[in-house]
């Protein structure tokens, strides 16, 4: 008691001394202050090298500025200096979680520019690899969003499934990660019956394994409460910001390029386009879970319907000939030499071709001057455009929701930074 009164008198003495010196004292209220928090570029929850500058009022986010470019490799400049074939391996490195979709998107774009079409078997193979890539990409999303909100088991389980997919890719293309599988006018090589059996086995086992993961999350109170109503994007905002893919379908817009502008053989396949109305992180999770099941349906139909035949279009001056024919036929040797050295030389013109990649609309704009090199190649990457909606979604949320929102957006920086 005594020490307390001593303390008070000491304080009042200090205040008295300050007042005597004619000074004014002011105290900052910590809640009235805004604070700038730098998140990334090296941060486990930013899925790569995304840097965010977040303005905080206490724990509430009042503003956010994303900074991109930490993974910028200048692919568009490289494309202008390489032939159409030489650019295929670079497309693997765009969205490195689904390289097969990028390969397919690029091959379709160049084929449209040249004016050729891949044979039916190659088209079915492309649908198959695109859907496998979609499942692989969405599984990555599932694992990472669960880990971002604190459920580590799902991460392990989804990676167990992705491991099987990588084994399939290894069998199809010879590489697990950077596949470079498609060629202009077809695919690198035919798929073997062994690979088909692997895909069949994967589809049979997959629903039960996915359900296991769903059981851990769908009624998990922590997961639902950390994603429900978080990062809401309205329908008009999403359309104005150009958001595509699962993020747009979670806002109640039924838009899927596979259905709206069917490419490959999607018009012959039966599948649904899942749409949710919420526009929040939970809706984006539900859309992706439903999409995986639709992909599985598509894969089943592909396995049933896939025709036999060539996997290369027969266009000698546009499509690389087969190795065995190069070694035995003079004509093919000449064509191979010309295509490798001077490129496929499409006519003068420009096209824009887009496919529904796992993250959204992946488009290629090509401008040809009639040479073997594209005069201009523009990559319209879904992650880049979707990331632009981040400041809108983060506004007003809590600092701990930032990781959940980035996770639900599922950006890949390789693609956003090009």
Partner 1 sequence: MRLWRRTSLNRCRLLQVSVNQKVIEQLKSRFGESNIEANEFRDELTVVVPKEIIVDVCRFLKDDSTLKFDLLADLCGIDMYTPAKRFGVIYNLYSLTSHHRIRLKTFVEEENPKLPTVSTVWATANWHERETYDMFGIIFEGHPDLRRMYLPDEFEHHPLRKDFPLMGIPGSLPLPKK
**Where along the sequence are the contacts to partner 1 (CB under 8 A)?**
68-69, 72, 74, 76-78, 80-81, 112-113, 115, 237, 239-242, 244, 253, 255, 259-262, 266-268, 270, 349-352, 354, 361, 363, 365, 367, 375-376, 378, 380, 384-385, 388, 417-418
Nearer to partner 1, 142 or 416 (CB): 416
* Shortest CB 197 distance to partner 1, Å: 27
CB-CB contact of 294 with 398 (8 Å): no
Nearer to partner 1, 361 or 401 (CB): 361
* Shortest CB 342 distance to partner 1, Å: 19
Nearer to partner 1, 215 or 267 (CB): 267
Nearer to partner 1, 7 or 272 (CB): 272
* Shortest CB 381 distance to partner 1, Å: 10
* Shortest CB 360 distance to partner 1, Å: 10
* Shortest CB 12 distance to partner 1, Å: 50
Nearer to partner 1, 159 or 352 (CB): 352
Nearer to partner 1, 200 or 261 (CB): 261
Nearest to 411 by CA among 245, 235, 206, 264: 245
* Shortest CB 178 distance to partner 1, Å: 22
Strand-pair category, 360-368 with 182-183: unpaired
Show the tokens assigned to 133: 């890539």
* Shortest CB 130 distance to partner 1, Å: 17
Nearer to partner 1, 60 or 388 (CB): 388
CA distance 391 to 247: 15
């Amino acid at each position: 008691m005594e020490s307390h009164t001593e303390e008070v008198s000491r304080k009042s003495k200090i205040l008295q001394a300050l007042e005597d010196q004619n000074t004014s004292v002011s105290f900052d209220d910590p809640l009235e202050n805004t604070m700038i928090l730098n998140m990334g570029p090296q941060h486990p929850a930013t899925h790569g090298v995304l840097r965010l500058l977040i303005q905080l009022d206490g724990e509430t986010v009042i503003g956010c500025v994303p900074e991109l470019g930490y993974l910028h490799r200048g692919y568009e400049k490289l494309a202008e200096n390489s032939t159409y074939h030489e650019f295929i391996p670079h497309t693997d490195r765009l969205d490195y979680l689904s390289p097969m979709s990028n390969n397919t998107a690029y091959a379709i774009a160049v084929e449209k520019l040249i004016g050729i079409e891949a044979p039916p078997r190659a088209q079915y193979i492309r649908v198959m690899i695109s859907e496998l890539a979609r499942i692989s990409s969405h599984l990555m999303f599932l694992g990472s969003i669960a880990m971002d909100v604190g459920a580590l088991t799902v991460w392990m389980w989804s990676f167990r499934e992705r491991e099987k997919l990588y084994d399939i890719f290894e069998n199809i293309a010879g590489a697990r990660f950077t596949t470079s599988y498609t060629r202009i006018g077809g695919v690198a090589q035919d798929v073997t019956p062994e690979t088909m059996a692997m895909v069949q086995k994967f589809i049979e086992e997959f629903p039960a394994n996915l359900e296991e993961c769903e059981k851990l999350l769908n009624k998990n109170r922590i997961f639902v409460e950390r994603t429900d109503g978080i990062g809401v994007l309205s329908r008009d905002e999403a359309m104005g910001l150009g958001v595509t893919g699962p993020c747009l379908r979670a806002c109640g817009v039924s838009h899927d390029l596979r259905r709206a502008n069917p490419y490959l053989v999607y018009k012959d396949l039966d599948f649904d386009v899942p749409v949710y109305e919420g526009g929040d992180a939970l809706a984006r999770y539900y859309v992706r879970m439903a999409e995986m099941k639709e992909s599985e349906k598509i894969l089943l139909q592909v396995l049933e319907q896939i025709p036999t035949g060539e996997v290369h279009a027969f266009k000698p001056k546009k499509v690389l000939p087969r190795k065995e024919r190069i070694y035995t036929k003079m004509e093919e040797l000449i064509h191979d030499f010309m295509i490798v050295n001077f490129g496929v030389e499409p006519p003068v013109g420009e096209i824009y071709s887009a496919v529904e990649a796992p993250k959204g609309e992946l488009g290629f704009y090509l401008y040809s001057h009639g040479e073997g090199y594209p005069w201009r190649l523009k990559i319209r990457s879904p992650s880049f455009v979707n990331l632009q909606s981040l400041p809108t979604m983060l506004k007003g949320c809590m600092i701990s929701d930032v990781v959940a929102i980035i996770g639900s957006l599922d950006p890949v920086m390789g693609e956003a930074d090009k």
